[in-house]
Structure 1
Amino acid sequence: MTATQTQPHARASASAVRGVLDLIGLVLSPVPLLVAVLPAAFTGGGQRRWFGGRADSQRAEAQAAKDDAAAAFYDLDTAQRDLRISIETISAVDSSPGARRAVDDFSAIGRRIDEASHQYITAVDAHDLDRDDLEASVASRARGELNRAKDELVRVKGDLDRFADGLGPLLDKAETQLARLAPAVERARAALLAASNALDSVRESGFRADDLAGRLASLAPELTKLNQGAGQHGVAETIHRADQVLRDAEAVRAEAERLPERAAEIDKRLVSLRTRAQALTTRADSVEPTLSELRRRFSAECWQDLQSVPEQATQSVHQAEEKLGAAAKAREEQRWPDATALLATVRALLNTTDEAVSAAGDRLQRLNAVAKDPQQEIDRTRFAVRDAQRLAMSGRNTPDPRHARPLDDAVARLQRAVDSLSGRHPDYWHFLTETEAVRRSASRVVEQIREDRGSGVSDRP
């Protein structure tokens, strides 16, 4: 059986891998072809002179044994050469314990191959089967030694084939990595070029883009290492570096292409937030009249927490305007991250101010409504509690204590809130906060019941 038949995986991949290994700078160790130094190993050498009798028969058998041993030697040598390419492919890509063990095992088999080859060469050199006076006993001894050498070559060849069959997963992994190498490096180089072109384009439009230029410049050493090749830095590390350069370069390109749009967005936000700050200044002026009405019509508990709203609103709007000025300067200097951060701060300040200014008007509106008709708030809250009670009793004779206790507390709390309205100067704001708290409590019980039933937890007595 030939090496091609016994090692399909190694022979099929040998020619394809050889070119890739040369590309990444790996130099295959030369293997001396022992056949080349044995010109007589395959032909027998010289012109044969045959004589009849037993000696000629022994000579023919010895020569046949020599030819069989030469064929076995050639098959083993060919298989070892092909498998060496596979091993070098694996060691160039894979540094895992399994890959290192495969390299060590191949070295051990190589030593056995050397021993078997030495035995074969010794047997060939020891006997000149073309001698005219070759004795039958010498021919018989030569046949025995050559057969033993052939058997050892075949035995080692079998071990080599079994070893090659076990390399399949490692070789597949290594070849996959090698197949990724060239495309990964090419994609990284293309991404760097695209980023550079995008940066040049926005600079021609008047944008400095200094931060992007710095980020792109920082990738130059990585490009140098990519150009040095995987032979110097390893296949796995080179693929990882190419992927990282690709991501970084694409990020620079995307940000460069979006820079004009980003500048336009910042300009738009500057105008919008400046308009909003001016509107809030006008709205803040209405807080004081609202507070005056609250003080005149309701008890101190209903409005005293709003006393500081006018002053706080004025301070917040002033601070927002200062931040807007700083954001405008950052935009002019093309400090985009600073401008974006300052605008976010302005927006947060204006949101807080807007809520505070709105709170005074909302408070007056709600207090007016409850002072005119508190029963509407009472009915709304009782409905929420009763709805929760009905759900808690659904399919049960007695409620679960986990649900009944908070609902009973909610009923009592609502009653106390209603009783608090009987005074001469009711605290309507306390009443509203209490009824809101009761509704939240009922809502939590409803959520708990639905979660228990949805998860299959039985709450039956």
Structure 2
Amino acid sequence: MTATHTRPRAGATASAVGDVLALVLLPVPLVAAVVAGAFTGGGSRRWFGGRGESRRAEAQAAKDAAAAAFYELDSAQRDLRISIETITAVDSSAGARRAVEGFEALGRRIDEVSHRYIAAVDAHDLDRDDLEPAVASRARDELNRAEGELAGVKAELDRFGEGLRPLLDTAESQLARLAPAVERARAALLAASNALDSVRSSGMRADSLAARLAALAPELTMLNQGAGRHGVPETLHRADRVLRDAEAVRTEAERLPERAAEIDRRLVSLRTRAEALTTRAGSVEPVLSELRRRFSAACWQDLQPVPEQASLGVRQAVEKLREAAEAREEQRWPDATALLGTVRALLNSTDEAVSAAGDRLQRLNAVAKDPQREIDRTRFALRDAQRLAMAGRHTPDPRHAGPLDDAVARLDRAVAALEGRHPDYWQFLTENEAVRADAARVVERIREERGAAGV
């Protein structure tokens, strides 16, 4: 918005200066005559006395007030335009679009009152020598009215600006994050590149890490193009993504020497374990022979496949070890790690199968020598559960007593089965374990119920 304010005419000023010089050059009697003539109607200006000058002053004061209101409104509109531009740079929501529409509507209203103000200023030359008092009054009224309209629109603009505060706060917050986020992303990329260079200088290829870092180059290009091209929200998301991915590359690159050393240690350890398990697998057959000789078929029949399973498991583990070593030499670190995990699983399952035969023989020997020890252990578990079921009661809860009575009956049947010529000691052991498990479940149920009841 602009306004034209009239100034005294240059010609009038020059004329006044000439008049003064002429008076100075005249003889003293003539100067006195000219001055006297000016006060007796000899001059060209019409004077209206104090009343006319008072109205001219009032009009000038109204003009000054309107000019101040005009400039205040113009400044407020400029500030609010910056706020709107800040919001639209970050926010494309419906709320932001409504803010733009509201600002444009206010702009049209501002243009209207500004045009009326400028027209009022241009319509009246308050510096004219022959300004009529009525004209001065009319100018004062029009300028006062313009000043009121300008102040009113300024108030509307201020209220509109207050309503934008939540949107503006959010936009300013995002803009404040923008530069640091982009700088952090660039720094992370540089750190990842330096870490990768350091690792590769030690003889490691790190091809997969190099490929991941190269894939971030287009992202860096778009970051460098700036938010003006790609938008603030998208640039912030891109910066966060680049930062996260670059830090992951840097971390893995820095850990690569340690990872290689760990793979080397695991290769040695698992190779040693595989050799030891090969030796142990050879002892399974003698154990099975003793089981067959001393115990009924039910005690060892499920262990018959163990020797073959152990031999196969060891062979597979050794083959996977060879593949893992090859992957390590080729620096295929993920493949080497995965293969070593497979080797460990194979050795674990083979170890369990080999150990099962020895453990079976040991347990069967113990129960054949003294079955009463197993019986006492089971009866103790049952009595403990029965005491808990009766605590604070005259009669047990049927939900607890029923399973315990069944468990006692199972134990009695297992003990009776030992009286045969070739008792199935393995069945006896498994039944005892099942009875103790039933008792433990009853105990757990009782404690849960009493805990829920606050007992």
TM-score by length of 1: 0.87
Higher mean alpha-carbon deviation, 114-123 vs 403-412, is at: 403-412
CA distance in structure 2 between the aligned counterparts of 1:330 and 1:447, rounded to whole angstroms: 50
User: 2:289 matched to which residue of 1?
Assistant: 292
Give the TM-score, by structure 2 length: 0.88
Q: Which residue of 2 aligns with 1:19?
A: none
Q: What does 1:35-54 align with in structure 2 at a 5 Å threshold?
A: 35=2, 37-40=3-6, 51-52=48-49, 54=51
2:189 maps to what in 1? 192
Aligned to 2:254: 257
| One-letter identity of the residue aligned with 1:228 | Q
Give the whole-Å Cα distance in 2 for the aligned partners of 1:409 and 1:88. Answer: 81
**Contact 1:39–1:45 (Cα < 8 Å) also in 2:** no
Between the aligned residues of both structures, percent identity stands at 79
Structure 2 CA distance, aligned partners of 1:280 and 1:58? 117
Structure 1: 5+ residue stretches without partners: 1-33
Give yes or no for the alignment of 1:431 onto 2:397: no
Query: What letter is aligned with 1:329?
Result: E
For 2:9 and 2:364, the matched residues in 1 are separated by 121
- How many Å separate the matches in 2 of 1:232 and 1:66? 46
Q: Which amino acid aligns with 1:352?
A: S
Match in the other structure for 2:208: 211
Name the counterpart of 1:6.
Answer: none
Aligned to 1:402: 399
* 1:299/1:425 contact within 8 Å kept: yes
- Any idea what the Cα deviations from partners look like across 1:74-101, whole Å, max 9, x if unmatched? 1111111112212211211223333333
CA contact (8 A) 2:320 2:343 kept: yes
The alignment status of 1:449 with 2:449, answered yes or no, reads: no
The reply to whether residue 268 of structure 1 matches residue 265 of structure 2 is yes
User: What's 2:326 paired with?
Assistant: 329
For the residues of structure 1 that align with 2:98 and 2:393, how far apart are their CA atoms?
Answer: 69
- Which deviates the most, 377-386 or 209-218? 377-386
Structure 2: distance between partners of 1:445 and 1:216: 59
Larger radius of gyration: 2
* Whole-angstrom CA distance in 2 between matches of 1:44 and 1:350: 107
Map of 1:240 onto structure 2: 237
Q: Report the secondary structure of 1:395's partner residue.
A: coil
Contact 1:44 1:63 in 2 (8 A): no
Structure 1 residue 45 displacement after superposition: 7.9
1:407-426 to 2 correspondences below 5 Å: 407-426=404-423
Q: Deviations over 1:100-156 (max 9, x none)?
A: 332222222222222221221122222222333333333322222222211111111
Greater Cα shift, 275-284 or 433-442: 433-442
| CA apart distance, 1:458 | 6.2
Matches of 1:330 and 1:304, distance apart in 2: 41
Q: How far did residue 53 of structure 1 move?
A: 5.2
The 8 Å contact of residues 192 and 250 in structure 2, kept in 1 or not, is answered as yes
Say yes or no: does 1:117 pair with 2:117. Answer: no
Say whether residues 1:143 and 2:140 are aligned partners.
Answer: yes
Q: Which residue of 2 aligns with 1:341?
A: 338
CA distance in 2, matches of 1:389, 1:45: 119
Q: Deviations over 1:191-235 (max 9, x none)?
A: 111111111111111111111110000000000001101111111
Of the structure 1 ranges 397-406 and 343-352, higher mean CA displacement relative to structure 2 is found in 397-406
Instruction: Give the count of matched residue pairs.
Output: 422
Alpha carbons 1:44, 1:129 under 8 Å: kept: no
Evaluate the alpha carbon distance shift between residue 399 and residue 114 of structure 1 in structure 2; reply closer, same or farther with a 3 A threshold: farther
Note if contact 2:5-2:121 (Cα within 8 Å) is conserved in structure 1: no
Greater Cα offset, 113-122 or 393-402? 393-402
Change (3 A) 1:401 1:458: farther
Alpha-carbon distance in 2 for matches of 1:389, 1:169: 69
Task: Find the aligned partners of 2:98 and 2:120 in 1 and give their Cα distance.
Answer: 33
Which amino acid in structure 2 is aligned with residue 178 of structure 1? L
Distance 1:316 1:365 in 2: 24
CA distance in 2, matches of 1:114, 1:398: 95
- The two structures, once aligned, show a CA RMSD in angstroms of 2.0
Against the structure 1 CA distance between its residues 369 and 45, is the aligned structure 2 distance closer, same or farther, given a 3 Å change threshold? Answer: farther
Structure 1 residue corresponding to 2:162, chosen from 165, 175, 198? 165
Q: In structure 2, what is the Cα distance between the partners aligned to 1:93 and 1:202?
A: 40
